[in-house]
Amino acid sequence: MWGIVPAAGRGTRLQPLTFSKELIPLGSRVDNGVERPRAVSEYLLERMIMGGADKICIVISPDKSDILRYFGDCYGSAHIVYAVQPRPCGLCDAVFRAHPLMTDDEPVIVGLPDTIWFPDQALATLPDDVLSFLLFPVERPEFFDAVVLDSVGRVLEIQVKQPNASSHWIWGAFKMPGRAFAALQRLRAPPIIVIFIWGSSARTAHRKRGSTHSRRSRLRSEFASGFIFRTIGSTARCAG
């Protein structure tokens, strides 16, 4: 199972910092009988491993090599690899930088490295075959990504740092089958523009992946088959 840790953000609200915000010390741990500070992101890696992850991809920006130096190539029982987000393009772009490493037959966990939630084994309770969110309540949801649910716990909307957030539940991690991760990546991928030459005139066409509209239509047909439908209509599990 893969774990993806998006850690390419600049942490502008915490500046000035001389190191990555994911390495802010919070608490301590004992290694070989020696107590040392624990980076805030270690809590997420430990929870991913408890949830079944044996491979973790940390997505960093080019100037955050201190994360690579800190974690190296493994943490606990999990192997660590790194993907680079060349420039800040948001959380979604950072998560899908890990896409080339993913396979359709392995579940994927995505978590926020600056968020700590309990119980620490909550990820193990999420199913492998549908997209499901790990949620917990906060008093000020306008500072987070609030998740709006329907009466049976299905996700209706995610309100990103909205002043008038209508839910007090925010997400700390989510889990999905590898094939769903690949389908979501195809949905957001930009179309490939191909130029065809006919005589003296040039025309452009969307090929390979097709236009955004055609990709959405194709995925809707997959929804109807029951493959993606279970992902979009997933149940949110709450960790209190």
Mean pLDDT of the chain: 81
Is 132 within a domain?
no
CATH of the domain at 31: 3.90.550.10
Is 159 within a domain?
no
Is 127 within a domain?
no
Helices (H), the chain: 40-50, 65-71, 91-96, 178-188, 212-224, 229-232
Residue with tokens 């740092």: 161
Which residues constitute the domain of residue 80?
A: 1-116
Number of domains in the chain: 1
Distances (CA, A) of 200 to 15, 196, 203: 56, 11, 10
pTM: predicted TM-score of the whole model, two decimal places: 0.78
Instruction: Give residue-wise pLDDT tens across range 171-205.
Output: 999 999 999 999 988 887 654 333 333 433 333 33
Tens of each residue's pLDDT in the chain, 240 residues: 999 999 998 766 666 777 899 999 999 999 889 999 999 999 999 999 999 999 999 999 999 999 999 999 999 999 999 999 999 888 999 999 999 999 999 999 999 999 898 999 999 999 999 999 999 999 999 999 999 999 888 899 999 999 999 999 999 999 999 999 999 888 876 543 333 334 333 333 333 444 445 555 554 444 333 333 333 334 444 444
